[in-house]
Amino acid sequence: MKTYPFQKLFPVFLLLAMAFFAGRGFAEFVENLRGIQEQHKETIMVSKTQGAVTYQAQELQDGTGITQQQENQENLALLQSQQTSASAQLQVLTNWPFTLDSPLLPGTENWGLGFGTAGSKPAGNATPEEMKTYNAYYVAPGEERKIYLTFDCGYENGNTEAILDALKKHHATATFFVVGHFLESAPELVKRMVAEGHTVGDHTYHHPDMSKISDLATFQKEMDDVRTKFFEVTGQEMPMYYRPPQGKYNKENLQMAKDLGYATFFWSLAYVDWNVNDQPTHEEAFSKLTSRIHPGAIVLLHNTSKTNAEILDELLTKWEEMGYAFGNLEEITTLSTSP
């Protein structure tokens, strides 16, 4: 068959075109990466004294659960996912150097997530199946469009009532993980949580790095002191739900929590809402909380966030319009133990 000169050159033109468009995408990725790296250089240091408790954002002493660096790393994971094909969906996991044959390491780990496509469940430090061996959870099994709302309560600064009002309006229940200081300083709000059907969980009394505690008695005391104070305030036993302060854990204290009868709950969606001196705009909050929502999401929010109090009613409406309903954490433990 006779060939013409342009036929010989066609593969060259095709390769040049592919390189041109790939180069444009890579350049955009590099530019976004540089922006994230610039954000990393900013130092966040916020102090707030409430009674005898000092909250320092840099050290996560207010129960942040997710740092600005983690948020940036998650953004980086999203950018990286856009640069990969559908056949290569493995994501960079925040602060997680594990290997596939060692899903849970003995040292302290920060709970982290790697996001893929919008609306899909993120990957955690370990799979749901691996976490379940420790009675620990970060996302509900299955594809039911249900959201599990959780709030970490380090202290009260005037936003919790609005949060409770929005939940009541939407007939939605949530789990509030409280520390000892919140029980001491806001007992009436705790009573209202219980009266309106919400769950109150254990976030430890003093909010320490529990992964540094190797003694079972000391570990248990941090948990028991919250339970004792909760009973004094409400006259009820506290549900056996636990969230590790700062998201710090290791397999030994996950096992200790399990041995004490607790279910441990991490999260599959969070954003930087905890810095009271640098609150996200409504637009920023909606962007993160709607684009990353997914079936079975355990959402971590903070009661100290002014933004959360202001947007929650509208946010719940938006999620409902997206086809989501709201569940409680007990459903996850039940689903996870079903055959």
Amino acid found at 211: S
Question: Per-residue pLDDT for 52 more than 70?
Answer: no
What's the confidence (pLDDT) of residue 94? Answer: 33
d(CA 27, CA 42): 24
Across 91-95, 105-109, 254-258, 306-310, least confident range: 91-95
Q: Which H helix or E strand runs over 270?
A: strand 269-270
Is-contact 63 207, C-beta < 8 A?
yes
Element (H, E) at 315: helix 306-321
What confidence score (pLDDT) does residue 18 get? 52
Are 307 and 273 in contact by the 8 Å Cβ rule? The answer is yes
* pTM of the predicted model as reported, rounded to 2 decimal places: 0.74
pLDDT range class, residue 74, cuts 50, 70, 90 = low
Amino acid code (one letter) for 58: Q
Percent of residues, the chain, with pLDDT higher than 90:
63
Query: Mind listing the pLDDT tens digit for each residue in 149-159?
Result: 999 999 999 99
Per-residue confidence (pLDDT) for residue 96, from 0 to 100: 31
Q: Distance from CA of residue 289 to its chain's centroid? A: 11
Contact criterion met (CB below 8 Å) for 245 and 206: no
Q: Cα dist. 224→6, 72, 134, 231, 238 in Å?
A: 80, 35, 19, 11, 10
Query: How far is CA 141 from its chain centroid?
Result: 16
pLDDT tens-digit readout, 114-159: 888 888 999 998 999 999 999 999 999 999 999 999 999 999 999 9
**In which band, very low, low, confident or very high, does the pLDDT at 302 lie, cut at 50, 70 and 90?**
very high
Confidence category of residue 58, pLDDT binned at 50, 70, 90: very low
Q: Which residues are catalytic?
A: 152, 302
What whole-number distance in Å separates Cα of residue 152 and Cα of residue 270?
11
